[in-house]
Amino acid sequence: MSIYVLRSDNLVKIGFTDDLRARVQAIVAAVPVPVEFVGHMPGGREVEAHLHGVFAQSLFAREWFVETPAMRSLFETILIPNLPEVATQKQRKRTAQTEAQAELSTRVRDAAEQRWPRLSKAERVEALAADLGWNRGRAKDLYYADPRVSLRDFERAELDVWFARRLEYAIAPELREEEGEKEQDQ
């Protein structure tokens, strides 16, 4: 919920809306004279009613007031001067991917700590890289959740397999012993 202020010549409109961008665009499109966005602030109907009461002496019509120097000063002090940025679909998708990757990194770190409890973090990264067949840098980026890194689909598939093996070992420890024997034979 937002309180918004619009200016047209020497008049200002003090209003309330749930959808700031849509409301401002609707008013600008409907009013036959130029309208300038002054700013917005968080608030509901009670804040709007309070501001209407404070400036009641300057009421022109409904939510429109004749602007005074006191109003202008107050607006400059309390209002956020720009409309909030609209997240594009691409930005929302990227944010979701970043959050999912951070969660995945946490799962990998936890699994690595369980798998190699006696190793240092650097040694765990080395062991993780060897276990996944990745280079050390890529494993380190994953382990430490580097936000600049985006996993490829095949890397996610490799991690799914890696997690599945960890789960199998937890359910049936003899599988780990069999794999260890195979590695020793080679």
Token pair 């994953």: residue: 142
Q: What is the pLDDT of residue 177?
A: 58
Question: Quick count: other Cβ atoms within 10 Å of Cβ 50?
Answer: 12
Mean pLDDT per 10-residue run, the chain (186 residues)?
A: 95 95 92 94 95 96 95 95 79 81 91 93 95 93 86 87 78 58 49
Buried b (16+ CB within 10 A) or exposed e, 128-159: bbebbebeeebbbbbbebeeebebeeeeeebb
Q: What is the pLDDT of residue 92?
A: 78
Q: What is the pLDDT of residue 186?
A: 45
pTM of the model: 0.49
Q: Residues 6 or more apart from 29 whose CB is under 8 A from it? A: none
Q: What is the pLDDT of residue 156?
A: 86
Domain ranges for the chain: 2-78, 89-185
